[in-house]
Structure 1
Amino acid sequence: MSELTDKKKITIMIAIITAMFFSAINQTIIGVAMPRIIAKLGGMDYYSWAITIYLLTSTVASVLVGKLSDIYGRKPFLLAGIGLFSIGALLSGFSGTIFQLITYRAIQGAGAGIIMSTAFTAMGDLYEPRERAKWTGVMSAVFGVSSVAGPLLGGYIVDHLDWHWVFWIFLPIGVIAFTLILLHFPRVEKRQGESVDYFGSLFLTTTIVPMLLAFSWAGDGPNKYAWGSWQIISLLAVTVVSLGIFLWTETKVKTPVLPLGLFKNSVFTVSNLVGFFLNAGMMGAIIYVPFFVQGVKGISPTMAGYVAMPMSIAMLVTSALAGQLMTKTGKYKKMAISGLLVMTAGMVLMYFMVPSTPIYLLVLYMIILGLGMGIAMPVFSLTVQNAVAPKELGVATATSQLFRNLGGTIGIAVMGSVMSASMTTKMTQLSAGMGQTGAMPNDPALAEKLALFSNPQNLLDQPKIEAALHSLSPESQAAFVHVLDMIRDAMSYGITTTFLTGAIVAGFAVVIALFLKEIPLRGQSQKQPEKRAADNSSEWDGVQPGKA
């Protein structure tokens, strides 16, 4: 696309950014609203599945479309992604049960995976890495804007409108994005001499899906299986067998869906490993922030949006600044490590939160987390694209997305198990202590209400709590509040334990990032050789790695 004018490139970028915003805002608007949606639909035990299935289908779709977009061009896949995402959002709004919601979220996830993978690759087609750094910051800022606007709108909708509008309100933007891509994005001819790797795609899918299902289904609690159960062992066995067949297939086919030679590139490999652990720690922890804000602190969804807003603004500002700084200096390693360290520190601080922690401290800790994420997130997609040849841009970007999504999905599953086990342990301790303090008032209405709120899901519905409280006698009200505080303590303990676990995982990302080799970001003045060097690191010909 080098023959395009700057004006045409900017027009295309506006179309790409609109598509990304449509996908991103529909993700962030759901975050604050999901606890209330779950309270309405029921199915607290399946809460993480509504998130996990989205990431699962997004993961599979993003990696499969990578090589295909290298062969057929980005345009048809951007259009397909927007179409799938719009259909999934429309159907999600009609959900009557948690299982319908999970099904429709799967469709949304497939669309999102295609959009995100193809959008970042398309940016790589238009600009060289030095200029690309600036646009990477802008695209990361899109997530920042959606992170600010999404929670506010999501909270307002579930407080004042029907929750279905959470999924429907931005559908017109999907139509606009589709139209802009259709009209302005150039279509390219199919790359000659390359074919679709059907067997590789099949076995890559049968590697990813059972693995993610195993991590999602394993653990303690309802609808879970023990790690040693035949169900989990069978899924992991299918994963191992499929992985072996996939690796063998990729060495035999002419055009592999995931060229294994890319992993000889140290920058490519290290960047993807960092992306995996970064997302595992970040997604696995912050996905439960709305539970702390609404369930433990008893804040309404609308106010929860305001609480989350400073973190999003911090992420927005630092991601834009990080992109500008990388464009100016052409360097990224120190920035990546410092961002990861700040992010880890934010999660460590969040571990020390308790139900009595003031809101301003919660906001401060989340700002620190947002600052770190904003610095670190834009770096690793850019380092991957900077280290590979243009003809491998799509599959390299898709692989980067794959590792991030795998990290996020496994992180959410593991953190969900950590939270459930921690809550159960804490609840058992508190219940034993309560039994020693004396008997509860003999009030059948109180017993009925306590049975209802023994399910932590109901802590997310503040109006229901207030209605239950006002229906009791003064003596029973005191006992009811005491038990609710005990459940909140258990929930707080479970959630903050996930923050600590997330910080430990993010710490692994810091250590791995120390091994990242810094290659100066290419600018327009630097030649783009199609051949890659034959050394072990497989860096670009003519580009000398800087000091690590």
Structure 2
Amino acid sequence: MTSDSSSPAPMTHRQTLEALSGLMLVLFVAMLSATVVSTALPRIIGALGGNQSQYTWVVTATLLTSTATTPIWGKLADLYSKKRLVQLSITIFTVGSLISGFAQNTEQLIAARAFQGLGVGGLQILVQIVIGAMIPPRERGRYMGYIGAVMAVATVGGPLLGGLIVDTSWLGWRWCFFVGVPIAALAFLLLQKTLHLPVIRRADVKIDYLGATLIAAGVSILLIWVTFVDDSFAWLSWQSGAMVGGGLLILAAAVWVESRAAEPVVPLPIVVRRNTALAIVASVAVGSAMFGGSVFLGQYFQIGRGYSPTEAGLLTIPMMVGVLFSSTIIGRLTTTTGKVKPFIVFGTVVLTAGFAVLSTMDHETSLVLLGVGMLLVGVGVGGSMQNLVLIVQNSVALKELGAASGTVTFFRSLGGTIGVSVLGAVLANQVSSTITEKLAAAGMGAGSSGNATGSLDIGALPPPVQLVVRAAYGDATGHIFLISAALGVVSILAALALKSVTLRGTLDLATAKPPAVDGEAQAPQVAPAGPKHAGPKHAAPRHAARKS
């Protein structure tokens, strides 16, 4: 393998901040793509004539494709120019956003969102990888405050923006997808100007496309089964056996392929390391609980409580305040102490407590109690999510940074995808059975209720039926948060079992091989130092190197 930059030059503090501005904008637009539709989805699905299963798949489609491609993006980042990969993912995301905005039915929207997810997967993981290539783990905690602020603004502003868009007659719901296009274009141009990483040239590049395809196919089959089981067919049926057995068999084949591939998408030697394996378990649980639970909050406030999309966005502010403050404060503490395990344990405990509070909700629960639960969930997410990636990045050499980051993010996204699918299926089945039971008890048959069990266009239903539907959605949401709390307990156990480590103050491990061997340009080794003296802040380029 070869590199076209013979000796790397570390980025100065000013260069780092300039590059971070573009990266934060990329992260913002990626998160905005999910949050801006969270409060608008009931209105969007209602306008397109969709149902609860399609509601879930509009979210799941993006999560599925972003999850399946995350390890591929991570591996590519170890082999090719990180800057070009970020710009490619921005382009894919932008095209997917435009197609989503022009969708004429739910099937087209789901397909467009799946394509958009290809870009989202790249944006989410590549931002972390690029930051990891610029900033040592010890100093990285300080910059997590910026990441937390972006997350909070995108998560708070997204639902509010989505609500305002669908409540504004001259805009319409399609602008929920168009709004990210100019932001993505600006991020593309900003990164072209500010991000300067050494260009990598490797002659022996081998991407494990077979393993990536098997992983995506196996996960997709299992998710499709989760969506349709107990609705289109029974749990104990030949369809279930074929889909579950086939999915597991394909995933087993993927493991076999990965164990023999020259450049595996999910490197098994990294996965089986203690802290990496435990971080993966915790990430799966946190991802399942967070994505699977929070995605239905907007639906709860609008359908279960009767609030407008804008009001629903405002009501989720406590969760985002929690993310903002915890990620900022804990990021600073991580840099100061060099410790990460205590904050991960704290985050998972608080996250689980928040879901336990939310599990008590029904269609009449006090908004104050809901606010407390959401605040706790936000604090937990801010304290655990980024730190789980950081503890993995700290344990690998710079040449493995992309694969390691991609692996843990892959499993976190996989957990989120499974969480949305499973909890969405649980919610849909419980809502359907509750509505049917209550309508029958009230003497209202299918003729008088319309499509009450399948439609999300609540305004089109008769007033008596609306009350039944709202109560069913409000009461069922508490049950899915109870499942999220149970998953949170798993994340606590995994966090407690993590090996305590001190974050290193160098970009690469002390025993790492030189760039000519590992194929990745990197900064020279420096001794670990405190937050005021370590990292790229005081580094000065020694000579020019070819940049991308």
TM-score range, shorter chain: 0.7 to 0.9
Alignment of 1:258-277 (within 5 A): 258-277=266-285
Matched, 1:389 2:397: yes
Q: By how many angstroms is 1:419 displaced? A: 1.1
Q: Is this contact kept in 2: 1:194–1:254, CA < 8 A? A: no
What amino acid sits opposite 2:380 in the alignment? G
Q: Of residues 470, 473, 477 in structure 2, which corresponds to 1:488?
A: 470
Q: State how far apart, in whole Å, the 1-side matches of 2:9 and 2:501 are.
A: 23
Q: Is this contact kept in 2: 1:59–1:113, CA < 8 A? A: yes
Match for residue 188 of structure 2? 178
Cα 1:448–1:156 change in 2 (3 A) is farther
Matched, 1:43 2:50: yes
* Mean Cα deviation higher: 407-416 or 239-248: 239-248
Matched, 1:233 2:215: no
Match for residue 366 of structure 2? 358
Q: By how many angstroms is 1:4 displaced? A: 2.1
Q: State how far apart, in whole Å, the 2-side matches of 1:133 and 1:274 are.
A: 19
Q: Is this contact kept in 2: 1:151–1:309, CA < 8 A? A: no
Aligned residues: 505
Q: By how many angstroms is 1:358 displaced? A: 2.8
Matched, 1:372 2:383: no
Q: By how many angstroms is 1:454 displaced? A: 5.4
Q: State how far apart, in whole Å, the 2-side matches of 1:349 and 1:421 are.
A: 23
Deviation digits for residues 181-215 of structure 1, max 9, x if unmatched?
22332351223544222333333333333233333
What amino acid sits opposite 2:80 in the alignment? Y
Q: State how far apart, in whole Å, the 2-side matches of 1:505 and 1:387 are.
A: 26
Q: By how many angstroms is 1:75 displaced? A: 1.5
Match for residue 205 of structure 1? 216
Q: Is this contact kept in 2: 1:282–1:506, CA < 8 A? A: no
Match for residue 521 of structure 2? none
Alignment of 1:130-141 (within 5 A): 130-141=138-149
Matched, 1:33 2:40: yes
Q: Is this contact kept in 2: 1:214–1:232, CA < 8 A? A: yes
Unmatched 5+ residue regions in structure 2?
Answer: 1-7, 514-526, 529-548
Q: State how far apart, in whole Å, the 2-side matches of 1:392 and 1:527 are.
A: 11
Match for residue 214 of structure 1? 225
Deviation digits for residues 234-281 of structure 1, max 9, x if unmatched?
333333333333333233332222221112310111001100011111
Alignment of 1:262-301 (within 5 A): 262-301=270-309
Cα 1:428–1:181 change in 2 (3 A) is same
Q: State how far apart, in whole Å, the 2-side matches of 1:509 and 1:302 are.
A: 33
Q: Of residues 268, 279, 302 in structure 1, which corresponds to 2:310?
A: 302
Deviation digits for residues 406-453 of structure 1, max 9, x if unmatched?
101111111112212322343354345434xxxx7xxxxx99763255
Q: Of residues 491, 494, 512 in structure 2, which corresponds to 1:512?
A: 494
Deviation digits for residues 261-319 of structure 1, max 9, x if unmatched?
11231011100110001111121112111121001110011111111122212211111
Q: State how far apart, in whole Å, the 2-side matches of 1:162 and 1:144 are.
A: 25
Q: Of residues 483, 486, 490 in structure 2, which corresponds to 1:501?
A: 483
Q: Is this contact kept in 2: 1:281–1:503, CA < 8 A? A: yes
* Mean Cα deviation higher: 490-499 or 236-245: 236-245
Alignment of 1:66-145 (within 5 A): 66-145=74-153
Matched, 1:7 2:14: yes
Match for residue 63 of structure 2? 55
What amino acid sits opposite 2:326 in the alignment? T
What amino acid sits opposite 1:48 in the alignment? T
* Mean Cα deviation higher: 233-242 or 172-181: 233-242
Q: By how many angstroms is 1:66 displaced? A: 1.2
What amino acid sits opposite 1:36 in the alignment? R
Q: State how far apart, in whole Å, the 1-side matches of 2:405 and 2:508 are.
A: 21
What amino acid sits opposite 1:4 in the alignment? M
Q: Is this contact kept in 2: 1:275–1:404, CA < 8 A? A: yes
Match for residue 473 of structure 1? none
Q: State how far apart, in whole Å, the 2-side matches of 1:405 and 1:452 are.
A: 33
Q: State how far apart, in whole Å, the 2-side matches of 1:103 and 1:346 are.
A: 34
Q: State how far apart, in whole Å, the 1-side matches of 2:508 and 2:466 are.
A: 64
Match for residue 25 of structure 2? 18
Cα 1:108–1:525 change in 2 (3 A) is closer
Unmatched 5+ residue regions in structure 1?
Answer: 441-445, 469-479, 532-541, 544-548
What amino acid sits opposite 1:261 in the alignment? P
Matched, 1:411 2:393: no
Q: CA RMSD in A?
A: 2.4
Cα 1:279–1:251 change in 2 (3 A) is closer
Cα 1:455–1:234 change in 2 (3 A) is closer
Higher RCO structure (Cα 8 Å, ≥6 apart): 2
Cα 1:55–1:525 change in 2 (3 A) is closer
Cα 1:123–1:2 change in 2 (3 A) is farther
Q: State how far apart, in whole Å, the 1-side matches of 2:145 and 2:399 are.
A: 23
Q: Is this contact kept in 1: 2:145–2:331, CA < 8 A? A: yes
Q: By how many angstroms is 1:70 displaced? A: 0.2
Q: By how many angstroms is 1:31 displaced? A: 0.6
Cα 1:520–1:296 change in 2 (3 A) is same
Q: State how far apart, in whole Å, the 2-side matches of 1:264 and 1:330 are.
A: 24
* Mean Cα deviation higher: 261-270 or 121-130: 261-270
Match for residue 443 of structure 1? none
Q: Is this contact kept in 1: 2:435–2:469, CA < 8 A? A: yes
Deviation digits for residues 451-507 of structure 1, max 9, x if unmatched?
255545123x4xx56xx6xxxxxxxxxxx44x4323222222211111111111111
Q: SS of the counterpart of 1:514?
A: helix
Q: State how far apart, in whole Å, the 2-side matches of 1:527 and 1:260 are.
A: 20
Q: State how far apart, in whole Å, the 2-side matches of 1:54 and 1:230 are.
A: 29
More helix by share: 1
Q: State how far apart, in whole Å, the 2-side matches of 1:252 and 1:245 are.
A: 11
Match for residue 457 of structure 2? 458
Q: State how far apart, in whole Å, the 1-side matches of 2:107 and 2:471 are.
A: 30
Q: Is this contact kept in 2: 1:348–1:500, CA < 8 A? A: yes
Q: How high is the sequence identity, in percent, across the aligned residues?
A: 33
Deviation digits for residues 384-416 of structure 1, max 9, x if unmatched?
101111110001111011101110111111111
Q: Is this contact kept in 1: 2:351–2:378, CA < 8 A? A: yes
